[in-house]
Amino acid sequence: MSTNKNSNTVQDYEDVLAIVAGYVDGLKTGNIEQLKKAFHQDAVMYGHLEHDLSQGSIENLYAYVQDFGAAPNIQTNLTVLHKTSTTAVVRVEMEHDAADEDFTDYHSLIKINGEWKIVAKLFHLYTK
């Protein structure tokens, strides 16, 4: 009989939050290379920008940051909604991004070869 050990450690939670905090830091500084460290190379993102659906590659995020630059006034709250030993979902409440927009993001992460990476970003833009 195989046992399925629960290896949800406090360190894992901290590691997951550190990856998402790296994403926030990349937004704050406008540093695309910092952002790329948080995301898997094949990551995707989906969400509505007013009436348009933004969909596809995470390259869309990098293009957004390229266009709008740094977000020095960004404020965020990060919450791990659920985590297993190899997967996690994190909610990011965000105010005042580089375009002075407010969003809620949901990031899906996976642990690959001992390293956490964001593989999907879903977002909601709030109208002002």
Could you give the C-alpha distances from 113 to 24, 110, 119, in angstroms and in order?
23, 10, 14
The pLDDT value given to residue 127: 86
Look at the pTM and tell me if it is higher than 0.85.
yes
* CA–CA separation, 71 and 114 (whole Å): 30
Mean pLDDT value across residues 93-115: 96
In whole angstroms, give the CA distance from residue 80 to residue 94. 15
Model pLDDT for residues 42-71, shown as the tens digit of each residue? 999 999 988 889 999 999 999 999 999 999
When pLDDT is averaged across residues 109-122 and rounded to a whole number, the result is 97
CB-based burial label for 26 (10 Å; 0-12, 13-18, 19+):
buried
d(CA 36, CA 59): 9
> ∠39-5-7 over CA atoms, to 5°?
40
Q: Is the pLDDT of residue 97 over 80?
A: yes
63 in Cβ contact with 55 (< 8 Å) = no
Confidence of residue 79 (pLDDT cuts 50, 70, 90): very high
